[in-house]
Amino acid sequence: MHKHQHLLPIFVASLCAAFALIDEVDGEYLIGVGSYDMTGPAAGVNMMGYANTDQNTAGIHFRLRARTFIVAESSQGARFAFVNLDAGMASQLVTIKVLQRLKTRFGDLYTQENLAISGTHTHAGPAGYLQYVVYSVTSLGFINQTFDAIVTAVEQSIIQAHNNLKPGSIFLNTGDVENAGINRSPSAYLFNPPEERARYTTNVDTTMTLLKLLDSAGNRSIGAFSWFATHGTSMSRENRLISGDNKGAAARFFEDWFTFSNNSLSTRNTKFSTIQNISTLRNKAQKIKATGGKPCGKTTSQGFKVRKNDGSRFVGAFCQSNVGDVTPNVLGAFCTDTGKPCDFNHSSCNGNDQLCVGRGPGYPDEILSTKIIGERQFEKAMELFSSATNPSSGKIDYRHAYINFTSIEVQLNESTVVKTCPAAVGASFAAGTTDGPGVFGFQQGDTEINEMWKRLRDLLKEPSQYQVDCQKPKPVLLSTGEMFVPYAWAPAILPIQILRLGNFVILSVPGEFTTMAGRRLREAVKETLINNGNGEFDNETHVVMAGLTNTYSQYIATFEEYKQQRYEAASTLYGPHTLSAYIQEFKKLAKAMATGEQLGGTGLSPPDLSSVQLSLLQDPLGDSPPPGKRFGDMQQDVAQPKGGSFKKGDKPSATFWSANPRYDLLIEGTFAVAEMLQGERWVPVYDDDDFCLYFKWNVTVDNSSLYGLATIEWEVPEDAASGVYRLRHFGSSKKTKDSPNEYFTGASSAFSVS
C-alpha cells in the first residue's frame, strides 16, 4: 500500500466537493499557479541559516522550488502575486531584480505594491543571495550562481502562473496542526503579561490556514497554499545536502500525493510492476552491467525527470508565518553530554550553550525528523483541502510602504513617544538557539559582554553612545546599523505590505515575529480593518502573517520578551520598540485599505547594492577524471546484497567519477535517477527531487590530484514495485575556462528489488 493510501477517501471526497462547489461559485477570480526549480550550487557553497562556516553544500536531498499563485479580478483588473520560496528568507536584492525583469515583460502589471516573495526558512539551501554584509560573512560574500537561480525561478514561476490565469474559485479553511512545533524560548514567552497569555491555550500558534485553488473551466484543483509557523530546522547544522526541510518535504508529499492519486495510481510505478519470479529478476539483473560514461546533451537529464514541468502540474506550497520562537524539534532540548534537559532560562548545559541541542521526532535521524514534521503539515493540509467549503469573495486590494526602521517615532500613548534604533544584535545572538547552538562563551539571556569581546567588537565598530542607550537592555555586540564598510551590514529601509483577497488578508513582514508578536500584529490590523471598513470587514475576516517576505531583517520580539534578551530578542534589530513600530505602521496601511485611500508613498526605497558585492568563493574543484577514466564511469558499482535482491528499506548506492555540480545546476533536470527495466526499456521512477533518492558529491585525492565523486543512494521505499533497477548519474564538466560545458551520463549495473 502507498504511504498515503489511507488518505485516498479524503481525496475522492475532495474532488466531489470541488465539483459541487464549482457549480455554486462561477469563477469569482482569474487564478493561475506556477512552479520552477531554484536549486542552487550543490558543492562547496555555504548554507544559509545556521551561520556555520563548516556547513557547505555536498549534494542534494531533494530540490528547491519557487511556487507562485496569482489572483486577479479580471485580465486588467486588480491582482496580486504571491511567491513561496524554498529558501531561508526573501532577499531585497532578489526582489529588486525580479521586479526589473517583470517590468520589462509585463510593464506595470506586477510591481513592489502587489508582489510578495516569501521564504519557507529552510536552513539547508545555498547562501550568498542577500545584499547586506552580516548575511554573507559565512558564505564568503555574494554567490552569483545562488542568486541567479533564485531570481530566474521566481521570474519563471510568475510567468507560468500568469500564463495559466483562468476563471476559478478560491476556498478558505483552517485547522490545528498537532505536534509540529514547540516554543524554543518558553522562558521569554512567560515575560508577556499573564492576562494576555491566558487568552491562549498554547505558547505557539497551531493554526494552519489554507487556500484551495480551483479552475472552474476545467473542473479541477490546481493548487493549495497554506500558512503555518514552524522553523525550517529539522535538518541540523551538520547537514550538507540541499533540502527544503520540513516545509519543502510537505510540498513534495502534497504534490506527489495529489498527482498520483489523481491518476488513480497507488504509486508512481504500479503500472510498471509485473509478476515475476524473484530468481528470474536476479538472473536478469546480473546480466546488465554498468554503461560507462557517455556524452549527452545539455537538456538530456530533463527528459529523465519523473515530474516534468510543463506548466500544468498541481502546486502545493507550505508558507511560513510568525515563526520566530517556534522549533520543529518537538521532543525538546537536551544536553548532549548528560542527556538531561537544558537550563530553562539560558538553554545551556552548565553554562555551555553548545551542548544544548533540540531533538526532532525522529531523533537521532534528522531526515526522519524532517519527514515526520513534513507529513504532519501535509496531512493536515490534505484534510483542510478536502473539507474546504468556505468560498472567498470580494475585492482584491493591496497596500505597500517602504519605512526607515532606524528612526521611527512611535506613539505609545497620548503622552509617550519612543523611537526605534539603528540595527544592532546583542550578545545572545552569538549564543544561537537550541536548533543551532552558536559560539562558546555566550548564553541566551546574556545582558553583559565581557571585555575581550568588547575589544574585538570595537575593532570592527564601536557602537555610539546613542546606540548603546537606545538598544537597552540589549548589550550591543555588533552595531550593524552603524557599519558601512565595505558596504551596509544591515538593512535600514524595509517593505511592509498588506494583500487582500475578499475577507482574507495577508501581512507581508520582512522578518521572524515571535508567536506573541505575531498575534499582536494580526489583532491590531484586524481591529483597524473592522473599525474603518464600513462593514466590509468583520469578525470573520481572516488575517495571516507571511514571514520572511520581500526582504530580511531578522527577528521581532515583544517589548516584554526583549527584556530577557534570549536569541530572538538579541536579534530584534531596531530596539525594544520594534514591534510597536510595526503595529503603528501596519495600522496605517490597514486604515488606508479599509477606507480606500491610496497612499502616496514615503519617498524611500532600499538601495541596490549589486555593484559593490564582494565574493571570495573559490572556483570549483574536480575538473577532470583520473587518467584512463571518463566522467560517468563507475568508481564503485552497486554492491549486490547477500540475498541477491534488495528489499524495502535497503540502500543500494553507486559512486561515479564526476565533475563539480557547480559547472551546471541542471535546473529542471536531475543529477540522479533510479531507473526500472520494463521490457527492453529503462524508465525513470525516482530522481533527485524525491525524498528517497540522495545525490552526494565530494572530492577525493589521488597522487596529489583532486577528483570529483558523485554518489547516488536510493532508500528503497515501501511502495517500490519489485523489479530490476539501476542508478543513473548526469553531470557537466569544463575542459578549460574558455570551453563550453560538456555533458555526460552513466548508469550502474542493474540490481533486483523484491
- Mean pLDDT across 248-258: 96
Per-residue b/e over 491-526, b at no fewer than 16 CB within 10 Å? Answer: bbbbbbbbbbbbbbbbbbbbbbbbbbbbbbbbebbb
Q: For 366-384, write each residue's pLDDT tens digit.
A: 999 999 999 999 999 999 9
Q: What pLDDT, on a 0 to 100 scale, did the predictor assign at position 739?
A: 72
Identify the weakest region by mean pLDDT among 132-146, 206-220, 339-353, 603-617: 206-220
List the grid coordinates of 501: 483577497
Report how far residue 357's alpha carbon sits from residue 431's, in angstroms, rounded to the nearest whole number: 12
pLDDT value of residue 18: 45
Q: What integer pLDDT is reported at residue 25 of this predicted model?
A: 42
Q: Is the pLDDT of residue 272 over 50?
A: no
**pLDDT of the residue at 600:** 84
pLDDT, residue 283, reads 87
Q: Which three cell numbers stand for residue 433?
A: 538557539
Strands 512-513 and 555-556 come out as: parallel
CA-nearest of 38, 72, 76, 101 to 161 is 72
Residue 173: closest CA among 298, 407, 17, 355: 17
Q: Is the pLDDT reported for residue 418 higher than 70?
A: yes
- CA geometry: angle at 10 spanning 7 and 16, to 5°? 145
- What is the DSSP-derived secondary structure letter of residue 323? -
Q: What is the pLDDT of residue 704?
A: 79
Residue 269, pLDDT score: 55
Residue 198: band (very low, low, confident or very high) from pLDDT cuts 50, 70, 90: very high
Which residues make Cβ contacts (< 8 Å) with residue 58, sequence separation at least 6? Answer: 42, 43, 44, 240, 241, 696, 697, 698
CB atoms within 10 A of CB 405: 26
Largest distance between two CA atoms of the chain? 86
Cell 498554547 belongs to residue: 202
Phi first, then psi, for residue 236 (nearest 5°) are: -85, 180
Residue of 486, 451, 481 whose CA lies nearest to 464:
481
As a dihedral over the C-alpha atoms of residue 94, residue 424, residue 135, residue 544, rounded to 10 degrees, the angle is -50
- Residue holding cell 546574556? 446
The answer on whether 231 is annotated among ligand-binding residues is: yes
Q: Give the separation between CA 245 and CA 252, rounded to whole angstroms.
A: 11
pTM: predicted TM-score of the whole model, two decimal places: 0.94
Rounded percentage of the chain residues whose pLDDT exceeds 90: 86
| Residue 262 confidence class, pLDDT cut points 50, 70, 90 | low
User: Is 4 labeled as ligand-binding?
Assistant: no
Can you spell out the DSSP letters for 37-101? E-----EEEEEESS--TT-EEEEESS--EEEEEEEESSSSS-EEEEEEESSSS--HHHHHHHHHH
Q: Hey, what's the cell of 345?
A: 532560562
Per-residue model confidence (pLDDT) at position 7:
53
**pLDDT score at 616:** 96
Contact 749, 636 (CB under 8 A): no
Distance of alpha carbon 341 from alpha carbon 344, whole angstroms: 8
Whole-angstrom distance, CA of residue 508 vs CA of residue 401: 11
For residues 45 and 56, what is the distance between their CA atoms, to the nearest angstrom? 5
Higher pLDDT, 598 or 269: 598
Single-letter amino acid code for the residue at 54:
D
Give the model's pLDDT for residue 670: 98
Output the CA–CA distances (angstroms, integers) from residue 459 to 135, 338, 450, 485, 511, in the order listed. 19, 38, 15, 12, 29
> What is the chain's mean pLDDT, rounded?
93
Distance of CA 376 to the CA centre of its chain: 17
Instruction: Report domain extents, the chain.
Output: 31-264+309-405+488-595, 618-753
> 20: pLDDT confidence band, cut at 50, 70 and 90?
very low
CA distances from 110 to 31, 114, 175, 599, 710 (A): 15, 6, 32, 17, 41
> Three-state DSSP class for 449?
coil
Other Cβ atoms within 10 Å of 173 Cβ, number: 20
What single string gives the DSSP state of each residue in 453-479?
A: HHHHHHHH-PPPHHHHHHHTTS-EEE-
* Per-residue pLDDT reduced to its tens digit, 37-64: 999 999 999 999 999 999 999 999 999 9
Q: Can you list the positions of beta strands (E) in 555-679?
A: 555-556, 634-636, 653-657, 672-678
pLDDT, tens digit, 9 for 90 and up, residues 612-635: 999 999 988 778 899 999 999 999
Q: Report the pLDDT value the prediction gives residue 273, as an integer from 0 to 100.
A: 47
pLDDT value of position 28: 84
DSSP class of residue 177 equals P
Residue 218: band (very low, low, confident or very high) from pLDDT cuts 50, 70, 90: low
What distance, in Å, lies between the first and last C-alpha atoms of the chain?
A: 15
Domain 618-753 has CATH 2.60.40.2300: yes
Q: Calculate mean pLDDT across residues 225-241.
A: 98
The closest alpha carbon to 344, from 445, 263, 427, 247, belongs to: 445
Task: Say how far apart CA 467 and CA 470 lie, in whole Å.
Answer: 5
At residue 3, the pLDDT reads 52
3-class DSSP assignment, residue 354: helix
Check residue 736 and give its pLDDT: 64
From the list 145, 144, 137, 147, the residue with the least C-alpha distance to 51 is 137
pLDDT at res. 266: 38
DSSP string, 265-278: -SSTTGGG-----H
pLDDT tens for 57-88 read 999 999 999 999 999 998 888 999 999 999 99
**pLDDT value at 24 more than 70:** no
- Residues 279-326 have pLDDT tens digits of 888 888 889 999 999 999 999 999 999 999 999 999 999 999 999 999
Which is more confidently placed, 399 or 282? 399
- Who wins on pLDDT, 741 or 526? 526
Confidence of residue 268 (pLDDT cuts 50, 70, 90): low
- Confidence label for 217 from pLDDT (cuts 50, 70 and 90): confident
- Comparing 8-12, 437-441, 639-643, which segment has the lowest mean pLDDT? 8-12
Distance between CA atoms of residues 726 and 682, nearest Å:
9
Which three cell numbers mark 115?
508582489
Amino acid 39: pLDDT? 98
Beta strands 542-546 and 504-508 are: parallel
Quick check: 572 and 556 in contact, CB under 8 A?
yes
CB-count exposure of residue 415 (10 Å: 0-12, 13-18, 19+): exposed
Number of other CB atoms surrounding residue 146 within 10 Å = 28
User: Which pLDDT score, from 0 to 100, does residue 275 have?
Assistant: 47
- Residue 108 CB partners (closer than 8 Å, separation 6+): none
Distance CA 701, CA 722 (A): 38
Q: Write down the pLDDT at residue 6.
A: 52
Q: Which amino acid is at 666?
A: L
Q: Which three cell numbers stand for residue 428?
A: 545572545
State yes or no: 512 annotated in a binding site.
yes
Burial bucket for residue 747 (CB in 10 Å: 0-12, 13-18, 19+): buried
Whether 271 has a pLDDT exceeding 60, the answer reads no
Which is higher by pLDDT, 621 or 668?
668
C-alpha cell at 300: 538530456
pLDDT above 50 (res 484): yes
What is the DSSP annotation of 200-212?
Answer: -SSSS--EEEEEE
Kindly state the cell numbers that stand for 102: 517583470
Give the per-residue pLDDT at 740: 81
